[in-house]
Structure 1
Amino acid sequence: MAIWRFDAIGTVWEIESAHELGADARGRVDAVIERFDREWSRFRADSDATRLGRAGGTMLSPDAAPMLDAYRSASDATRGAVNPLVAGSLVALGYDADYSLVAGEPVAADARWTDIVAWTDGEASASAPALLDVGALGKGRLVDLVAAELADVPGDLVVDAGGDIRVRGGAVRIGLEHPYDATKAIGVAEVQDAALCASAVNRRAWGDGLHHVLDARTGIPVRTWAATWAVGTDAMHADAVATALFFDGGPELAAQWGVEWVRMSTDGRAERSPGCPVELFTAGA
């Protein structure tokens, strides 16, 4: 397998293909990522998401309906814990466009976010300034878009964006990294023609116990669960479930979407869905 490694949207990507990707295929991937980032990144001053955060209004994007439909389902399942307006507390805690990592007071997101944010198949709008954070599922969505862009590339394909992975073709064994020791795995998943997405509190962590997985209802980082993994037919829904699993209602959302999952608590115990095709090595398996 040929491997193409590059940095984009703040993470390392690896695309494995049966043959080395040519300049045309790489250019198309670059264009897909740039378009998505220009629309949805809250870390770019020139993005549509940043503009909505400053003044409200409308942005055009083919990703609006798929992502915000999924957000609404995740928000309903977790009783508001997953909410795209969590961006306000992430910024307040220092995870801002400048990566200041200087923490202020957390802020709760508006639970009635669907009264402020509306969307159709091709656009999203905000009736007031509303900074959106699509981190709960956006990377998974982009992995799906990149995989779709490479649909004409023959043979097996693996698209890996910092642990959000989509596999086409032959089965791939993927270790589930221990959240407190990156040299260890708590289990192994075998993924074929599917996606595996992960989230953990040790990623994007700073200050005194701060990390990027917040309960939008309080603006405070979660404390019960340390890491989650979700296996689904597409990466966007697997990514959304990986986020929702930090809260009550996450397992129910996974069942609704047919996503299998594993999660590990901060005291080291693991839970998984009844049909999860993962071999676990840790307590509670």
Structure 2
Amino acid sequence: MPHQDWSGFSFDGIGTRWEISTPEPLGNAVRRRLREVVEDYDRNYSRFRADSVVAGLAREAGTVTLPSGASGLEALFRKLYRLSSGAVTPLIGGSLEQLGYGPGYALQALGDPVPAPRWEDVLVWNGTQVTTSVPLVLDIGAAGKGQLVDLTAAVLRSTGTTEFLVDASGDMLHSGTEPLGVALEHPYDPTQAIGVVELHDGALCASAANRRAWGDGLHHVLDGATGRPIETVVATWTTAATAMEADALATALFMVDPTVLEEEFEFSWLKVYSDGHAAFSAGFEGTLFT
């Protein structure tokens, strides 16, 4: 974790806890800007609030304009959609709501799982402009929190802050001269660690079926082609240059063979399967406990 002398700034946003650590305390103007960036992102992309931009598409088909960062999301999702044969998709929101994970947090399935609609049938996404032919629940959660971590880091860098750790409840971006040792949470026991990884000038993101789970076998990592929760993988960790890519790849690892992803992305990874065994890339700078 950050040097014990570093200063911390904490706040809540997009339904998660943010911890930003820096060698010197952040000024009030910077703190205000960080909160604004997170709130603006939520106001555009959250499917959990009725006043967001994407919420309008769930009520009625049409066209909306999103912030400039939407172009990066489009390119990333388009690539992962192709590599996963539709399993990783920004249209998974309806499938999640069918299983009870929606704005009301009913956490009770409305019926049998339903696949996400095919991108090519219902969605035209060109940069910042999104057009739907039917009402759709757009969900960029696979990469959104990571992108927001990158955006908060950009705020820090714009003020001349070169050493920091942004931690959005486990999705981290580090900048600094000294590497950090980060514990890897046990997928079945949050009070325990299965290992430790060294993070230095890059992002570390995790995805775990236990993080948002409810009911019998229901959790938030779904296969878009079937609408069903993944059963073979329980947790993944990835390191990459940006938190957006690390975040998205942590989800993609639930559904896509790592060798397929490695052909088009530069990242390292650790994958824990439901039978208890683990696999990791040659470049993963971590140690697993026995």
Contact 2:74–2:127 (CA under 8 A) maintained in structure 1: no
Out of 92, 96, 103, the position equivalent to 2:98 is 92
Q: What's the offset of the Cα at 1:116? A: 2.2
1:199-238 equivalences under 5 Å are 199-238=207-246
Counterpart residue number, 2:136 = 130
1:34-113 equivalences under 5 Å are 34-61=39-66, 62-104=68-110, 105-110=112-117, 112-113=118-119
Q: Following the alignment from structure 2 to structure 1, what is the Cα–Cα distance between the partners of residues 161 and 78?
A: 36
Secondary structure, counterpart of 1:256 in structure 2: coil
Task: Give the residue type in structure 1 aligned to 2:106.
Answer: S
Q: Following the alignment from structure 1 to structure 2, what is the Cα–Cα distance between the partners of residues 30 and 254?
A: 35
- Cα deviation, 1:250-285, whole Å, max 9, x if unaligned, reads 442244210100010111111011222121224xxx
Out of 253, 271, 274, the position equivalent to 1:245 is 253
Q: Following the alignment from structure 2 to structure 1, what is the Cα–Cα distance between the partners of residues 171 and 123?
A: 27
Out of 143, 151, 171, the position equivalent to 1:145 is 151
- Cα deviation, 1:70-99, whole Å, max 9, x if unaligned, reads 111111111111111111111011101010
Contact 1:245–1:251 (CA under 8 A) maintained in structure 2: no
Out of 162, 165, 181, the position equivalent to 2:172 is 165
Task: Give the residue type in structure 2 aligned to 1:108.
Answer: P
Task: Give the residue type in structure 2 aligned to 1:249.
Answer: D
State the identity %. 47
Secondary structure, counterpart of 1:261 in structure 2: strand
Contact 2:53–2:64 (CA under 8 A) maintained in structure 1: yes
Q: What's the offset of the Cα at 1:47? A: 0.6
Q: Following the alignment from structure 1 to structure 2, what is the Cα–Cα distance between the partners of residues 99 and 31?
A: 25
Q: Which runs of structure 1 show a deviation greater than 6 angstroms over 4 or more consecutive aligned residues?
A: none
> 2:191 aligned with 1:183, yes or no?
yes
Q: Following the alignment from structure 2 to structure 1, what is the Cα–Cα distance between the partners of residues 7 and 140?
A: 31
Counterpart residue number, 2:10 = 5
Structure 2 unmatched runs, 5+: 1-5
- Cα deviation, 1:91-112, whole Å, max 9, x if unaligned, reads 01110101011212211112x3
Q: Following the alignment from structure 2 to structure 1, what is the Cα–Cα distance between the partners of residues 92 and 74?
A: 14
> 2:126 aligned with 1:120, yes or no?
yes
Please give the root-mean-square deviation of Cα atoms over the aligned residues, in Å. 1.3
Q: What's the offset of the Cα at 1:59? A: 2.0
Q: What's the offset of the Cα at 1:217? A: 1.0
Distance 1:25 1:218, change over 3 A: same
Distance 1:121 1:108, change over 3 A: closer
> 2:197 aligned with 1:192, yes or no?
no
Secondary structure, counterpart of 1:66 in structure 2: helix
Contact 2:156–2:162 (CA under 8 A) maintained in structure 1: no
Distance 1:76 1:246, change over 3 A: same
Please identify, of 183-192 and 118-127, the stretch whose mean Cα deviation from structure 2 is larger.
118-127
Q: What's the offset of the Cα at 1:114? A: 3.4
Q: How does the TM-score come out when normalised to structure 2?
A: 0.93
Contact 1:251–1:273 (CA under 8 A) maintained in structure 2: no
Secondary structure, counterpart of 1:262 in structure 2: strand
Please identify, of 247-256 and 265-274, the stretch whose mean Cα deviation from structure 2 is larger.
247-256
Contact 1:229–1:262 (CA under 8 A) maintained in structure 2: yes
